């Protein structure tokens, strides 16, 4: 039997001992060990990973000696892929992480805007969540004195988040699991437990030298991020409008907008921040909020050239952009800060088994935003929900996936999962939510986190983190200009740092 009851982050209450890290680090030092070690105790080898056995494994949560080890392809080495790799290894699986970039970090790797680029980070971006809230559950995002921090502020710049993610990968020795500069081009399901992963590797030095190869896995975990494929607002007449259109995905610095009139569609995180930044150099900035009443036309306090407007009604060949109240401006640029689409270009499942479809940003069918019922648990998606705190969420999802793959947790039957999916759609419809918000967890992310935590016997998200998230979210709405510099949640900060003491500065012997 594997030492599951002790020292594993996903067992019992979240353990605040270094035992968790010690056992993990011990495994981490022998990357292949997880599988071989595991085989002494299982009756099923990774090369035969039968669904039937998974289903027959009994109810979840209990300590059984019949856990299976799978060879799992993880697509992407951003926060989600790294969390997945870590949890898969902890559970005794062998993970291979495919990453087309040259390092870990995903969208937090800043890159110049270019065709086909992955990152949506712009040069000045600072986090919209306080670092204490953002971090992984047992690896606090702190700027301790003497650490390699590049921005110690509470809402740091993007470089600091990248530093943190890379430190996470080093700390848990995940680099060795990643195949860099390797882009997955196709995932083909042969049977629900046999997945063919095809990839193209581009060696950095020889540039164009590419080779396609394929390899078989027992399961696939998709962690490719969803802030790369732009969604743009549909504006009547825009095709014959002479100005320039772009999406926040390609926005980097304000300078190109000097003295221009810019219409920014979207007033959420990116729209709000980018509007303010561009207002520093542009002639006029008109920030459009789809939800604002038609008559909206107000200058934002503190700015002589930044206006909040109602939705755009149409664009005209003479360069005008007309708002819903009938007023118009002659604009040079329309900048869409209208979010992104889910995109899985490598999934060739559709043609084969009709397993999955993406329609109006709803990925169907997906049990709890993670599993495709027909092939669960062998195809899983980590990190799809939005309006959430991503890192803790991907951690908990990963834990759940790893345990479902080993058989430690048993999923409901395919029919039951499908019923749940249907019930959720009805619920969304009754609430009047549009289909494209299927994976939006704005109002219930913590219920979802708690549910996941309960599934895998994890302590889950701390109460201070929930309260701090709510406080920060409110503050962001009330004081969008200053919420990154001023706050009043000192009692929560104190609780957070009390909790963090367990994890900060572990003695070197624990590595
Ligand atoms: C502008 C912006 C601001 C944000 N601000 C915050 C914030 O303040 N706080 C916060 O917590 N979150 C923020 N987020 C959310 C952010 O997306 C998450 O923090 C987190 O980075 C998501 O990680 P991920 O691993 O799911 O995706 P990503 O970071 O996008 O990683 C996906 C990885 O998959 C790789 N990949 C994709 N396709 C393939 C393929 N076919 N083959 C191989 N590799 C592939 C990519 O190269 C990439 O490395 C922000 C996001 C954006 C876009």
Q: Using one digit for the tens of pLDDT, what is the confidence trace for 104-117?
A: 999 999 999 888 89
Distance of CA 38 to CAs 43, 46, 330, 339, 457, Å?
A: 10, 10, 67, 43, 21
The CATH number linked to 282 is: 3.50.50.60
* Lookup: tokens for 73: 């392809």
- The mean per-residue pLDDT over the stretch 249-273 comes to 96
360 and 471 in a single domain? The answer is yes
Rounded-to-integer distance, Cα 108 and Cα 460, Å = 25
Question: Given the structure tokens 């530093």, which residue do they identify?
Answer: 163
Residues of the chain with pLDDT > 70, as a percent, come to 83
Expressed in angstroms and rounded, the spacing between residue 226 Cα and the centre of ligand 1 is 7
- Would the pLDDT of 294 be above 90? no
pLDDT of 290 reads 87
Q: What is the pLDDT of residues 67-102, one digit of tens each?
A: 999 999 999 999 999 999 999 999 999 999 999 999
CA of residue 80 to ligand 1 center, whole Å: 8
- Residue with CA closest to ligand 1 atom 27: 225
Identify whether the C-beta of residue 288 lies closer than 8 Å to the C-beta of residue 264.
yes
Q: Does 348 share its domain with 302?
A: no
Is residue 511 domain-resident?
no
Whether 10 lines ligand 1, by a CB cut-off of 6 Å, is no
Are 307 and 317 a contacting pair, CB within 8 Å?
Answer: no
3 contacts 91 by C-beta, under 8 angstroms: no
Give the model's confidence band at 59: pLDDT under 50 very low, under 70 low, under 90 confident, else very high: very low
- Domain annotation covers residue 10: no
Helix, strand, coil percentages in the chain from 3-state DSSP, rounded to 5? 30, 20, 50
pLDDT at 29 exceeding the cut of 50: no
Q: Are 59 and 412 in contact (CB under 8 A)?
A: no
- Determine if ligand 1 sits within 6 Å of the CB of residue 397: no
Is the CB of 76 within 6 Å of ligand 1? yes
* Ligand 1 atom 38 nearest Cα: 224
Using the Cα atoms of residue 474, residue 475, residue 478 and residue 481 in order, give the sign of their dihedral: negative
Instruction: Taking residues 174-186, report their average pLDDT.
Output: 96
Whether residues 398 and 449 fall in one domain = yes
Rounded distance, CA 241 to CA 231, Å?
Answer: 19
pLDDT of residue 206: 53
Query: Does 171 reside within a domain?
Result: yes
Is residue 474 situated within a structural domain?
yes
* Greater pLDDT, 326 or 51: 326
pLDDT at 114: 84
Residues 6+ apart with CB under 8 A from 164: 135, 141
Of 338, 365, 397, the last residue of a domain is 338
- In angstroms, rounded to a whole number, what is the distance separating the alpha carbons of residues 293 and 217? 52
Q: What is the average pLDDT value for the chain, to the nearest integer?
A: 85
Q: Using an 8 Å Cβ cutoff, are 340 and 231 in contact?
A: yes
| pLDDT for position 209 | 59
For ligand 1, the distance from its centroid to the CA atom of residue 430, given in whole angstroms, is 31
> Is there a single domain that holds both residue 37 and residue 131?
yes
Task: Using pLDDT thresholds of 50, 70 and 90, give the confidence band for residue 178.
Answer: very high
Q: Are 263 and 295 members of one domain? A: yes
Structure tokens at 167: 């430190």
CA diameter of the chain: 74
pLDDT in tens, 184-218: 999 998 888 899 999 998 765 555 657 789 999 99
Q: Residue 386: is its pLDDT beyond 50?
A: yes
Q: What is the pLDDT averaged over residues 62-68?
A: 66
Q: What is the CA radius of gyration of the chain?
A: 24
Cα distance between residue 382 and residue 72, in whole Å: 13
Angle CA(107)–CA(375)–CA(392) in degrees, nearest 5?
35
Of 338, 360, 391, the residue at which a domain comes to its end is 338
Residue 383 near ligand 1, beta carbon < 6 Å: yes
d(CA 136, CA 165): 9
- pLDDT above 90 (res 417): yes
Distance (Å, whole) CA 308 – CA 296: 7
Q: Which of 310, 338, 366 is the last residue of a domain?
A: 338
Backbone angles phi, psi at 306, to 5 degrees: -115, 120
Is residue 168 located within the same domain as residue 261? no
Residue 353 has a pLDDT of 54
The mean pLDDT value for 23-41 works out to: 35
Q: Decide whether any atom of ligand 1 lies within 6 Å of the 225 Cβ.
A: yes
For the chain, what is the domain count?
2
Quick check: CB of 156 below 6 Å from ligand 1? Answer: no
Instruction: Assess whether pLDDT exceeds 70 at residue 8.
Output: no
112 shares its domain with 186 = yes
Q: Dump pLDDT digits (tens) for 323-364.
A: 999 999 999 999 999 999 999 999 976 555 578 889 999 999
Do residue 269 and residue 248 come from a single domain? yes
Is 178 close to ligand 1, i.e. is its CB under 6 Å away? no
74 and 194 together in one domain: yes
pLDDT above 80: residue 244: yes
430-441 burial, b if ≥16 CB within 10 A, otherwise e? eeeeeeebbbbb
Q: Residue 8: inside a domain, yes or no? A: no
Q: 395 C-alpha vs ligand 1 centroid, how far in Å?
A: 14
Ligand 1 within 6 A of CB of 100: yes
Q: Are residues 217 and 205 in the same domain?
A: yes
Measured from the CB, is residue 79 less than 6 Å from ligand 1? yes
- Say whether 214 sits in a helix, a strand or coil: strand
- Asked if residue 9 belongs to a domain, the reply is no
Which residues share a beta bridge with 244? 333
Nearest Cα neighbor of 360 from 384, 341, 385 is 341
Quick one: DSSP state of residue 347? B
pLDDT at 278 over 50: yes
Taking CA atoms only, the protein residue closest to ligand 1 atom 8 is 127
Same domain, yes or no, for 263 and 161?
no
3-class state of residue 349 by DSSP: helix
Q: Where are the alpha helices (DSSP H) in 172-298?
A: 269-279
pLDDT at 138 over 70: yes
pLDDT reported for residue 41: 32
For residues 287 and 216, state if they share a domain: no
Percent of the chain with pLDDT over 90: 74
Asked if residue 501 is part of any domain, the answer here is no
Q: Give the structural domain span for 262.
A: 233-338
Between 23 and 485, residue with greater pLDDT: 485
Whether 109 lines ligand 1, by a CB cut-off of 6 Å, is no
Average pLDDT (159-188) is 96
């Amino acid at each position: 039997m594997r030492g599951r009851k002790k020292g594993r982050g996903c067992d019992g209450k979240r353990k605040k001992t270094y035992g968790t890290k010690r056992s993990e680090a011990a495994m981490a030092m022998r990357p292949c060990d997880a599988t071989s070690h595991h085989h002494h105790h299982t009756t099923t080898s990774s090369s035969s990973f039968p669904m039937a056995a998974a289903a027959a494994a009994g109810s979840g949560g209990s300590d059984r000696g019949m856990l299976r080890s799978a060879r799992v392809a993880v697509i992407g080495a951003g926060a989600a892929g790294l969390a997945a790799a870590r949890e898969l290894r902890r559970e005794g699986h062998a993970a291979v992480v495919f990453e087309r970039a040259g390092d870990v970090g995903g969208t937090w790797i800043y890159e110049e805007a270019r065709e086909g680029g992955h990152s949506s980070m712009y040069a000045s971006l600072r986090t919209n969540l306080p670092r204490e809230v953002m971090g992984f559950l047992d690896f606090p995002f702190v700027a301790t004195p003497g650490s390699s921090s590049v921005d110690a502020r509470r809402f740091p710049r993007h470089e600091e988040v990248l530093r943190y993610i890379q430190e996470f990968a080093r700390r848990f020795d995940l680099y060795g699991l990643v195949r860099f500069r390797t882009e997955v081009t196709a995932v083909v399901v042969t049977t629900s437990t046999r997945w063919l992963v095809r990839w193209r590797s581009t060696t950095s030095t020889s540039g164009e030298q590419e080779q396609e190869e394929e390899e078989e896995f027992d399961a696939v975990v998709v962690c490719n991020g969803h802030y790369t494929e732009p969604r743009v607002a549909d504006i009547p007449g825009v095709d014959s409008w002479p100005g320039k259109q772009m999406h926040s995905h390609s926005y980097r610095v304000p300078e190109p907008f000097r003295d221009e009139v810019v219409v920014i569609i979207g007033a959420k995180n990116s729209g709000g921040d980018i509007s303010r930044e561009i207002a520093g150099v542009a002639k006029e900035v008109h920030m459009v909020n789809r939800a604002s009443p038609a008559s909206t036309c107000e200058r934002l306090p503190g700015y002589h050239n930044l206006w909040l407007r109602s939705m755009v009604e149409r664009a005209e060949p003479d360069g005008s952009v007309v708002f819903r109240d009938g007023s118009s401006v002659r604009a040079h640029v329309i900048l869409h800060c209208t979010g992104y689409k889910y995109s899985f270009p490598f999934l060739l499942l559709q043609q084969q088994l009709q397993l999955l479809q993406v329609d109006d940003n709803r990925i169907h069918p997906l049990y709890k935003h993670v599993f495709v019922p027909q092939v669960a648990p062998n195809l899983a998606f980590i990190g799809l929900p939005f309006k959430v705190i991503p890192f803790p969420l991907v951690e908990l999802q990963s834990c759940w996936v790893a345990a479902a793959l080993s058989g430690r947790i048993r999923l409901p039957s395919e029919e039951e999962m499908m019923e749940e999916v249907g019930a959720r759609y009805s619920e969304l419809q009754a609430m009047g939510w549009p289909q494209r918000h299927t994976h939006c967890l704005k109002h219930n992310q913590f219920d979802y986190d708690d549910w996941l935590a309960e599934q895998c016997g994890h302590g889950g998200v701390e109460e201070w983190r929930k309260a701090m998230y709510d406080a920060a979210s409110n503050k962001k709405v009330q004081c969008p200009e200053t919420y990154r510099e001023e706050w009043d949640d000192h009692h929560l900060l104190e609780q957070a740092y009390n909790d963090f003491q367990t994890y900060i500065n572990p003695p070197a012997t624990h590595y």
